[in-house]
Amino acid sequence: MWRSTLLPVAAVASLTANAATAADVPVFVKAQPVAVVAPWTGFYAGAHVGYGWGNKRFIDNFPTPDGELDADASVKGVLGGFQGGYNHQFNWLVVGVEGDFTWSGVSGNFSCFPFGDQVCSAKPEWFSSAAGRLGVASGPALFYVKGGAAWAQDHFTDLATCAGTQPRQRAGIPALCGDMFFGDQTRPGWLFAVGVEYLFAPNWSAKLEYDYMDFGSRSVPLLDGGNGFFTEEIHQKMHAIKLGLNYHFDWGTAAAAPAHAAAYYKAAPKSEDDEAAGKVLAFSAFDVSKNSYSGSIGTLIAPFRDLDTSGLRFWMFGDAGVYRYPAAGGTIRGTYESGDVLAGYGFEGDFYSINLLAGFNAVNHTLSDVDVENRVQGTAFGAKVRADAWINPTPKTLTYGEAEYSTAFRTYYTRAKFGYDFTAKEIFFGPEVAALGDERFNQWRVGAHLTQVKFGKVQVDVSAGYANDSIVGSGAYGTVELSTHF
């Protein structure tokens, strides 16, 4: 926006001219009242990485519970995920709620059971929690405690190696040498956490947190994919240290503060155009195709300027879904959860917008039954790259493309669409093509899209067409996407 500099210059000239005549006159200036702000009040979202460790105790309960200890093992490993919540500050007291989801690389292999030279493994695939937060604010720091409900998705295996001198049976139960048993279970528990969070810049904070999670004891069924079956009572307690980064949104919070942490840090001045453009793009989507459906939510953040100005970009994205595919003797149902934390650079021009991003990705796939041929199961961490480009060659034409690849299960996605504005309202219609897949499947799509239908500040994009999948065959697909900026 064009701004005149004449008024400030005139003001300086006037002050200079009057300084000589008023040099001997005492001037008393009344101090302006300091605005009271609540920098912690508002919504926030972010990501975390860390390290987890814990204990797994296996207690015999098959065919009848006898309380015998079959294994007492430790698990440990890296973890990472997302968190989000809301705080409200009352002077020095901060209360809030927070939810998080953490993909886990925590695991352990250990000897188990006193017969058949058996080897077991335990791997919490992910953790999740919904908790209340209570904190004390001191300057830009917040010291808090957190407590609430927690959940864990566990994966267990048991293999009788029969490689040593142990007996091959116990109480009439034989060790099935070379037969792998699998068990998966989602179990509830409770969480207690303590931490400190620090506002180091407007809208940004970093935190360090310790979590204790107790998931009690539950009986877990283990299957070999055939007729083999037994249960085991498993006790689980977990600890975690997390280092996190949060972005605090300006959704109608404290009018006296243009950004969180404004009480402690001076933000760069914003023009009216900057405010209109927005620093945050929030989006969500729902996709359905043959035997699968998924939903996603994400955000693209310009941390220093606005999204219409070239500069640094942060990307956070979460995706989850359900799918079914044929297997020997029936159908297997899979569920997955995926998350990205990427950073890069955005290039903005009069008729184009290009983002180049790279970072980390975590994916978990859980299957309803044993499938030893499917390599896409469990949790995997990987490096990820992404590029997208929105180009308007003319005011009435659109070219859009996006492509991404993760080393986690070699997951890829690419799409291109072309459009023409038949309405003179910047609503584009035209064809699109896409390809997606991983180590389990490959799929290609051909269809049509309607892009940039606006309802107030919300943009709606829809697409549909034909999809061909290497596992489930041909069918239709449909996608609805919502986005807004602020």
Residue 142: pLDDT above 50?
Answer: yes
Task: Identify the CATH homologous superfamily for domain 270-485.
Answer: monomeric porin ompg (2.40.160.40)
pLDDT digits (tens, 9 = 90+) for 424-477: 899 999 999 999 999 999 999 999 999 999 999 999 999 999 999 999 999 999
* Dihedral angle of Cα 34, 35, 38, 44, to the nearest 10 degrees: -120
**For 105, what's the count of Cα atoms within 13 Å in the CB-facing half-sphere?**
14
**Mean pLDDT computed over 17-25:** 41
246 touches 223 (CB < 8 A): no
- Determine the pLDDT at residue 122: 95
Is 379 or 370 the better-scoring residue by pLDDT?
379
- Determine the pLDDT at residue 329: 74
Average pLDDT, the chain: 88
Residue 267: pLDDT above 50?
Answer: no
**Parallel, antiparallel, or unpaired: how do β-strands 458-469 and 473-485 relate?**
antiparallel
- Determine the pLDDT at residue 101: 97
Residue 33: pLDDT above 90?
Answer: no
Look up residue 168 and give its two tokens: 């091959």
Same fold, 42-245 and 270-485: yes
Residue 252: pLDDT above 90?
Answer: no
Question: How far apart (Å, rounded) are the C-alpha atoms in residues 466 and 349?
Answer: 34
**Mean pLDDT computed over 257-278:** 44
- Determine the pLDDT at residue 176: 84
pLDDT digits (tens, 9 = 90+) for 355-371: 999 999 999 999 998 88
Residue 309: pLDDT above 60?
Answer: yes
180 touches 226 (CB < 8 A): no
- pTM for the model stands at 0.83
C-alpha 450, offset from chain centre? 28
**For 223, what's the count of Cα atoms within 13 Å in the CB-facing half-sphere?**
11
Domain ranges of the chain: 42-245, 270-485
Question: So what's the architecture of 42-245 in CATH?
Answer: Beta Barrel (2.40)
Residue 406: pLDDT above 80?
Answer: yes
